[in-house]
Amino acid sequence: MRLLLLLLLTPTLLAGDYAEELGRFFRPTRQTVASNKFRARCLKSVPETLDGRDVEALCAAYLQLEKEMAPFEDKHRSFILRGLRDKSREPRPELDGLRELQATLRSILEQHAPLHARAMVETAFDGKRYPLRLRLGLAEAGRYLVGSDELAQLVKSAARARDDEDVLVALTFGRSVGVSAAPMTELAVETLAHENPILRGAAIGALETIADPASLLPLVAHIDLEVGDLRKRVVAALQVLTGQTFHGSSRAWQIWLAEEGAPFLSGDRTLGFGEPSQAEQPAGATYYGLPMDGNRLLFVLDVSQSMSKPLVEPKQGEEVEPGAETRMDRARAELVRALSRLAPHQHFDIVAFGGDLDRFAEKLVPASAKNVAAAQAWVSEHELSLGTRLHDAIELAFDQAGRSTGDGLYLPDVDTLYVLTDGQPIVNGKSDDQKAIEESTARLNLTDQVVIHTIGMGSEIPAGFLKRLASGNRGQFVHARR
């Protein structure tokens, strides 16, 4: 009754003190589902203008939701680890409701960022109590301060960051500000030597947009200190900064700098107007044409009933030929072939999803001859099931990567995901929310350490969704029509 009364009064009260209303609606509660309906209504009544207290209250509401999500996250993790066996106790509805409210809060903050950028950036710097994802989003509001008198002091504050999470927030701010964050170049260059690859990746991204000539020599020297994806990111940053198209040869970059780099090093030539060059064709093993150059690979395989459809769909009026190759036949063959090409130093695992979840191993295993042969047999013998629970499969994959519950800085045990599906995500006979899957994946892959490639089979795939899922996680999309 109290919540209903508040809701009826909301239009009047919000005009007077929106921060107070947020505090009332987002106080701790045990009636999560019922309260969330009123909370959603509250968030639809945002005033056209906010003040600093409102920004702080929005962040506090986000934090409260994070606390309420924790037990549901734990329950859902147990649910997916059991392979979705007991669907009568599925916790996703409550969890999805809380996640949707968090997404709405972030959207409100983004909408009002141009007018409240300084308050948001200061909250990002000082708000260690807030979840890391919120802090990173607030730090990106720095882009609205470019050209303002307030920016210089914020840049100086960011340059003094020392704690790991604070450094990540500061570098995110520097990347959003660009050339105006030149005083942060020293911090970014120092962070290239950090033991945490997440921070090294953030430093590379910041140096790319800050475009300070002082970053060129350290970046070139850093090429040979990285392997895999981070090495590619160093090279891409140099390509953007200089407009040159050399790939991974540090020697080529050194020669170019010695012979032609003087104007770039002196600042006579403006940096940052290049484009990342097209990647070199994969020289090693591939899976559907995608490079298998990571060290810790996880294959997410659709084993839904629709995978039994013919790979080459008959024309209208034609019948399927007896013994025609199915989508599952081809998917199995491609994965068996890819597994056979793994190098001994690589580690791998497989998650199969339909109406249930299954995995080859409980953690990534070395690509030994014994493990590869066992995985190939597992793939070849796996049965199909009704449903396409892609959302749960991705969450199980990130659990394999070491990301379970909570929102913080973690080092994933997986560097590359390959997600193969032939249709729309379906849960309990209904289409699953693609936006929610993208939102959940962004949360799980908070620091962009996992590359996600997507492969779509057949004519019924959600191509736009699969493209966004890949491009949003630094991967590629392949449409395997045949």
Per-residue pLDDT of 266-281, as tens digits, reads: 999 999 999 887 555 5
- For residue 31, what pLDDT is reported? 64
| Integer angstrom CA distances of residue 293 from 211, 299, 362, 405, 468 | 29, 14, 22, 28, 22
* pLDDT value for 32: 63
CB atoms within 10 A of CB 225: 13
Give mean pLDDT, residues 25-38: 78
> What is the per-residue pLDDT across 91-145, written as a single tens digit (0 to 9) for each?
777 888 899 999 999 999 999 999 999 999 999 999 889 999 999 999 999 999 9
Cα–Cα dist 231/346, whole Å: 18
pLDDT at 469 over 80: yes
User: What percent of the chain shows pLDDT beyond 70?
Assistant: 91
pLDDT at residue 30, rounded to an integer: 67
Closest of 306, 324, 314, 331 to residue 426, by C-alpha: 306
CA–CA dist 37, 40 (Å, integer): 5
Ordered structural domains, the chain, with CATH = 1-145 (no CATH), 161-280 (no CATH), 286-313+324-480 (3.40.50.410)
**Which of the two residues, 10 and 195, has the higher pLDDT score?**
195
Q: What is the pTM of this model?
A: 0.88
* Position 394 pLDDT exceeds 50: yes
User: Is the per-residue pLDDT at 6 higher than 50?
Assistant: no
Spatial CA neighbour of 293 closest among 363, 339, 243, 346: 346
pLDDT of 1 strictly over 70? no
pLDDT in tens, 318-375: 777 777 899 999 999 999 999 999 999 999 999 999 988 999 999 999 999 999 999 9
Q: What are the tens digits of pLDDT across the range 206-219?
A: 999 999 999 999 99
